[in-house]
C-alpha cells in the first residue's frame, strides 16, 4: 500500500485480525487491537440502547403511577438524532435514586491505627456484612486482606472471601465473586474533590464497560470488582504499542460526550450546558481558595523547602501566571470532552485474560479540555512513583519526544474519526433490536489530513502542559498539610509549580 494513499482506519463487520493486517499493513498484534476497538464500541452502543429502552419502560411506569424496584444501568440520554437543535434530556430523578442507594451505607472503615491482620479481617468482614445485608454474615476467618501499592491518596486492599458471598438472587444480581478491591479514602481528600460526582460517573461508566464494577459505598471508601490484571509501569506507557492502546482508551472516554451532556452546575458540579466551567478551572479556583484558607499550615509544611518557600513568598507572581494561562486557553476555545484527568500509569490496568487496557480511578474525571487530558498523560511519562528514594521527582527529559507524541496522537486522531462517525450513528442503528444491525462505519483518512490533525492537536496541548503542572502543584500543597501518606508532597508541589511558572513565562 502506498504511504501517500488513504490510510484505512477500521474495516467493517468483524473481520479477522489477520485480514485487517493484510489490508492495512499493521502487525497482527496491532490488528487484534483494531478489531477489539470495534467490539468495544459495539458493546457500548448495545448498552446505551438497552439503557434507553429501560428509560422508556421506567417513564411509562411512572406515568401509570407505578414504581420500579430496579435501577437503570446507566444515564438515559437521547441521541443528537432524536432532538432538534442538539438538545439533551436526562433522567435526573433516576440518577438521584441510584446515588441514594449507592450512598446508603454510613459505616466508617477505620485503618488509622494500622490494625494487625486478624483485626483488619474482622473490620473488613463487618463492612462486607453491612454492604451485602441481608445475606448470611461472613466469618472473619474466611476473609484474607492484602495491601496493594500504587495509590497516592487512597489505601487499596485486595480482599478474598472464601467461600464467596451467596448470590443476591432476590435482587436479580449475579453470583458474587470471591475477590474484591477495597478502597479506603485518604484523610482530607474530600475537601478538594467531589465524591458525589465520582460515584455518579463510576455508576455510569461501569454500566458501559469502563472500569471495574461497583459493589458498595461506605462512608470513607468503596468496594469494587477485583480485576485479574497487572498495573502498567513507567516503562510500559513508553512502549509504542501500549501508548497507542492508551490513546484508544482515552479517545473512547472522550467520545462519551456524544451521549452524556454536561450537567447543570447546580445538579452535578460539572460543566454547565450554557458556558459552564471545565474541571481545570473549577479545580484550580476552588483549590486556590483552599490554599488561602490553609495558608498558615501550608507555610509551616513548606518551611524546610527553599524552593517552595520562595514560591509562597512571591505568591502574587503565581496568581498573575494563572491569569495569563487562563487568557491564553480561553482565547483558543479548545474542545471540551468527558476526561479522566489523572491518566497516570498506576491508573491503567492490563487484563491478564485478554491483554486489554482498563482505566480505573475516576476521582478527578468530568468535563474538561481534551488537550488537558492528553497533556496530563504526557506529563506522567516523567514520573516514577515507585522510585526507592525520590518517588516525588519528575524527570523532565522523559517527557515524550515529538516522535513519541506523534505515535500517540496519530492513533487518537484515527480513533476519534471512527468514534465520531459511529457514536453519532442514526438511532435506527444504535437502537436496532438485532445486534447484527450494529454495523460500524469504516473511515478512511488520507495521510495529509492525518498529519494536519496531529500537528493541530500537538499545538493544542502546548498550554495544557503548564496547566497540568499548575493543577497538580496546587494539589500537592494541599496534600502536604493533610495527607498521612508517606510521600514528599512539598517537594512535588515545588517542582511542579516551578515548571509551571517557567513554562507560562515562555508562552
What CATH number corresponds to the domain at position 207? 3.30.200.20
Q: Could you tell me if residue 486 is inside a domain?
A: yes
The residue from 225, 258, 287 where one domain ends is: 225
Claim to verify: residue 186 and residue 328 sit in the same structural domain: no
Q: Could you tell me if residue 91 is inside a domain?
A: no
What pLDDT was estimated at residue 256? 83
Claim to verify: residue 468 and residue 336 sit in the same structural domain: yes
Cα separation, 499 vs 62, whole angstroms: 55
The residue from 225, 253, 286 where one domain ends is: 225
Q: Which residues of 303-330 are buried (b: 16+ CB within 10 A; e: fewer)?
A: eebeebeebbeeeeebeebbeebbeebe
Claim to verify: residue 217 and residue 321 sit in the same structural domain: no
Q: Could you tell me if residue 365 is inside a domain?
A: yes
Residue pair 440/44 in contact by the 8 Å Cβ criterion: no
Phi, psi of 503 (to 5 degrees): -70, -40
- 389-440 pLDDT tens trace: 999 999 999 999 999 999 999 999 998 988 887 765 444 444 444 444 556 6
Claim to verify: residue 408 and residue 347 sit in the same structural domain: yes
Inter-residue long-range contacts of 263-270, CB under 8 Å, 24+ positions, other chains counted: 263/90, 267/92, 268/196, 268/197, 268/200, 269/194, 269/196, 269/197, 269/366, 270/197, 270/366, 270/367
Q: Could you tell me if residue 56 is inside a domain?
A: no
CATH code of the domain covering residue 277: 3.90.1200.10
Contacts of 318 (CB under 8 A, 6+ apart): 311, 497, 500, 501
What pLDDT was estimated at residue 36? 61
Residue pair 272/366 in contact by the 8 Å Cβ criterion: no
Nearest to 150 by CA among 236, 65, 39, 47: 236
Cis preceding-peptide flag for 211 (omega within 30 of 0): no
Residue pair 68/61 in contact by the 8 Å Cβ criterion: yes
- Which stretches in the chain have pLDDT values below 50? 1-15, 19-26, 31, 52, 55-56, 58-103, 150, 170-171, 263-275, 425-436
Claim to verify: residue 422 and residue 289 sit in the same structural domain: yes
Distances (CA, A) of 47 to 52, 356, 431: 9, 19, 10
Claim to verify: residue 268 and residue 378 sit in the same structural domain: yes
The residue from 182, 205, 225 where one domain ends is: 225
Distances (CA, A) of 356 to 39, 150, 182: 12, 20, 22
Claim to verify: residue 432 and residue 393 sit in the same structural domain: yes
Phi, psi of 2 (to 5 degrees): -65, 140
What pTM, to 2 d.p., does this model score? 0.78
Residue pair 157/182 in contact by the 8 Å Cβ criterion: yes
Residue pair 74/48 in contact by the 8 Å Cβ criterion: yes
Claim to verify: residue 132 and residue 165 sit in the same structural domain: yes
Q: Could you tell me if residue 499 is inside a domain?
A: yes
Sheet holding 229-231, edge to edge: 229-231, 348-351, 357-359
Report the run of H or E that residue 40 belongs to, with start and end. Answer: helix 28-63
Distances (CA, A) of 31 to 45, 253, 395, 444: 22, 21, 33, 16
Q: Could you tell me if residue 354 is inside a domain?
A: yes
What pLDDT was estimated at residue 100? 40
Claim to verify: residue 477 and residue 341 sit in the same structural domain: yes
Claim to verify: residue 302 and residue 420 sit in the same structural domain: yes
Q: Could you tell me if residue 75 is inside a domain?
A: no
What pLDDT was estimated at residue 403? 98
What pLDDT was estimated at residue 61? 45
26 Cα distance to chain centroid:
29
Q: Could you tell me if residue 55 is inside a domain?
A: no
**Domain boundaries, position 205:** 105-225
Cα separation, 329 vs 464, whole angstroms: 8
Q: Which three cell numbers stand for residue 160?
A: 478474598
Claim to verify: residue 248 and residue 184 sit in the same structural domain: no
Cα separation, 339 vs 162, whole angstroms: 37
Claim to verify: residue 130 and residue 243 sit in the same structural domain: no
Q: Which residues of 398-408 are buried (b: 16+ CB within 10 A; e: fewer)?
A: eebeeeebebb
The total domain count for the chain is 2
Nearest to 342 by CA among 382, 372, 308: 372
Amino acid at each position: 500500500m502506498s504511504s501517500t494513499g488513504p490510510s484505512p482506519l477500521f474495516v467493517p463487520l468483524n473481520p479477522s485480525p489477520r485480514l485487517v493486517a493484510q489490508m492495512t499493513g499493521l502487525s497482527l498484534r496491532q490488528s487484534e487491537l483494531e478489531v477489539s476497538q470495534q467490539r468495544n464500541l459495539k458493546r457500548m452502543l448495545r448498552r446505551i440502547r438497552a439503557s434507553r429502552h429501560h428509560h422508556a419502560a421506567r417513564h411509562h411506569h411512572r406515568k401509570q403511577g407505578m414504581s420500579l424496584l430496579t435501577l437503570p444501568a446507566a444515564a438515559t440520554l437521547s441521541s443528537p438524532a432524536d432532538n432538534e437543535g442538539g438538545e439533551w434530556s436526562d433522567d435526573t430523578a433516576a440518577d438521584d435514586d441510584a446515588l441514594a442507594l449507592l450512598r446508603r451505607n454510613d459505616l466508617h472503615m477505620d485503618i488509622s491505627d494500622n490494625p494487625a491482620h486478624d483485626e483488619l479481617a474482622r473490620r473488613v468482614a463487618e463492612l462486607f456484612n453491612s454492604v451485602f445485608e441481608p445475606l448470611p454474615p461472613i466469618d472473619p476467618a474466611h476473609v484474607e486482606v492484602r495491601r496493594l501499592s500504587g495509590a497516592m491518596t487512597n489505601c487499596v486492599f485486595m480482599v478474598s472471601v472464601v467461600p464467596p458471598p451467596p448470590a443476591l438472587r432476590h435482587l436479580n444480581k449475579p453470583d458474587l465473586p470471591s475477590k474484591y478491591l477495597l478502597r479506603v479514602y485518604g484523610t482530607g481528600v474530600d475537601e478538594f474533590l467531589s465524591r458525589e460526582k465520582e460515584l455518579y460517573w463510576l455508576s455510569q461508566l461501569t454500566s458501559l464497560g469502563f472500569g471495574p464494577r461497583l459493589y458498595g459505598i461506605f462512608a470513607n471508601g468503596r468496594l469494587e470488582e477485583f480485576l485479574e490484571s497487572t498495573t502498567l509501569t513507567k516503562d510500559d506507557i513508553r512502549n509504542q504499542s501500549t501508548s497507542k492502546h492508551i490513546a484508544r482508551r482515552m479517545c473512547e472516554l472522550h467520545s462519551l460526550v456524544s451521549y452524556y451532556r454536561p450537567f447543570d452546575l447546580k445538579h452535578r458540579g460539572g460543566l454547565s450546558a450554557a458556558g459552564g466551567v471545565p474541571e481545570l478551572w473549577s479545580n484550580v479556583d476552588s483549590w486556590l481558595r483552599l490554599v488561602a484558607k490553609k495558608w498558615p499550615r501550608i507555610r509551616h509544611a513548606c518551611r524546610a523547602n527553599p524552593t517552595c518557600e520562595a514560591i509562597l513568598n512571591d505568591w502574587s507572581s503565581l496568581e498573575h501566571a494563572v491569569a495569563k494561562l487562563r487568557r491564553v486557553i480561553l482565547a483558543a476555545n479548545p474542545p471540551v470532552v468527558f476526561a479522566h484527568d489523572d491518566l497516570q500509569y498506576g491508573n491503567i490496568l492490563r487484563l491478564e485474560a485478554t491483554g486489554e487496557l482498563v482505566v480505573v480511578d475516576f476521582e478527578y474525571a468530568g468535563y474538561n479540555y481534551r488537550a488537558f487530558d492528553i497533556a496530563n498523560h504526557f506529563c506522567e511519562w516523567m514520573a516514577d512513583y515507585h522510585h526507592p528514594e525520590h518517588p516525588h521527582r519528575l524527570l523532565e527529559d522523559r517527557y515524550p519526544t515529538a516522535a513519541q507524541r506523534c505515535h500517540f496522537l496519530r492513533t487518537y486522531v484515527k480513533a476519534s474519526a471512527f468514534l465520531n462517525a459511529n457514536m453519532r450513528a442514526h438511532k435506527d442503528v444504535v437502537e436496532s433490536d438485532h445486534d447484527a444491525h450494529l454495523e460500524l462505519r469504516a473511515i478512511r483518512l488520507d495521510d495529509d489530513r492525518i498529519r494536519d490533525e496531529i500537528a493541530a492537536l500537538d499545538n493544542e496541548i502546548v498550554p495544557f502542559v503548564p496547566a497540568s503542572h499548575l493543577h497538580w502543584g496546587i494539589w500537592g500543597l494541599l496534600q502536604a498539610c493533610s495527607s498521612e501518606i508517606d510521600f514528599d508532597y512539598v517537594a512535588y508541589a515545588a517542582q511542579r509549580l516551578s515548571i509551571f511558572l517557567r513554562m507560562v513565562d515562555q508562552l
